[in-house]
Amino acid sequence: MLYREALNKAIDESMAADNSVVILGEDVGRYGGSYRVSEGLFSKYGEKRVIDTPIAELSIVGNAIGMAIAGLRPIAEIMTANFSLLAMDQIINHASKFRYMSGGKMTIPLTIRMPGGVSRQLAAQHSENYETLYSSVPGLIVLAASNATYAYYGLKSAIFMNDPVVFLEHELLYPMDMEFKEIKNFDPFKAEVVKEGKDLTIITYLKMRYDVLEAQKALQKAGIDAEIIDLNSLRPIDIETIAKSIKKTKKCVIVEEDHKTGGMGAEIAAQIMENCFYDLDAPVLRIAGEDVPIPYNRKLELLSIPTPEKIVKKILKWKAENGI
């Protein structure tokens, strides 16, 4: 199943099951969405439930919050995470706080979908990762879908939560054909052990999952049997699954596309220090994007983010430096 088809299926089934579910955003209606995620929904559910909006992200999220307060379950689509900066006041200062400021009398069952990450030569203003910004905000749930199975089950779960969810996607994943697994008793906050191993735990999420899987082939040839964990949920983080793996492997590497300074890996590493310090045989290694705005030039763009080759090189260097 294509990644975008899994997202479409989740929205379609949710809208069919509950008339309060609506979707709004730029080009989500007649055009079917910038990445074809809402394709076919306009003709099926009509303009009152599949709503084309002006190019105004603050308005999209603000209107969605109003819908949620009034009893609907809106899905607000932001064309890219980069444009979500224009809606930050509504997301952070309103959606995340209303439940608390109303003493629990008001809930905001709102899902804000947005793709982010480095695609291919879209340059600095269209290539950022902002998961760290949203994951640092109390009152928000942040989920990150790296595969068709989680895209489907995770998005359906998000739509029917009673608190605001930032649902992160990656632009390069939409056309990817992926295995789809039927899951009973799905837990959106549970990390996935993608591959079991005994020598090293690698924690990752979103598109980096595939770079890590490619890298592990070379690591295997070098005699390193890596366990790979895909976080799925960035707020909250499933530290229990991480701790269980580190207790076995004694070593941990975090791979993220985000910038290193203040990136998601810093928070993950901090939680590992708090929970797993005495199980570690070496300092946690963070492999992340460089601390630069993403360049347009393709060679520079690839130099600014982790690639399978870089992941292998950095792990082997870290292993040698720490005598492990």
Q: What is the DSSP string of 209-270?
A: HHHHHHHHHHHHHTT--EEEEE--EEES--HHHHHHHHHHHS-EEEEEEEESTT-HHHHHHH
Check if 57 is active-site. yes
Give the residues of the chain that fall short of pLDDT 70: none
Cα 234 to chain center, whole Å?
A: 7
C-alpha 134/C-alpha 1 separation (Å) is 29
Q: Which of 5, 77, 94, 126 is catalytic?
A: 126
C-alpha 315/C-alpha 287 separation (Å) is 9
Instruction: State the pLDDT at residue 229.
Output: 98
Say if CB 230 and CB 205 are below 8 A apart.
Answer: yes
C-alpha 25/C-alpha 102 separation (Å) is 27
Q: Enter the pTM of the model.
A: 0.96
Instruction: State the pLDDT at residue 323.
Output: 87
C-alpha 242/C-alpha 268 separation (Å) is 10
Check if 274 is active-site. no
The C-alpha angle 169, 175, 179, rounded to 5 degrees, equals 85
The C-alpha angle 181, 113, 233, rounded to 5 degrees, equals 55
Instruction: State the pLDDT at residue 324.
Output: 83
Q: Which of 26, 57, 77, 171 is catalytic?
A: 57
C-alpha 298/C-alpha 275 separation (Å) is 39
CB-count burial class (<10 Å; 0-12, 13-18, 19+) for 20? middle
Q: Please give the DSSP secondary-structure letter assigned to residue 177.
A: B
Cα distances from 16 to residues 3, 25, 76, 151, 156, in angstroms, run 20, 19, 17, 18, 12
Q: What is the pLDDT of residues 62-96, one digit of tens each?
A: 999 999 999 999 999 999 999 999 999 999 999 99
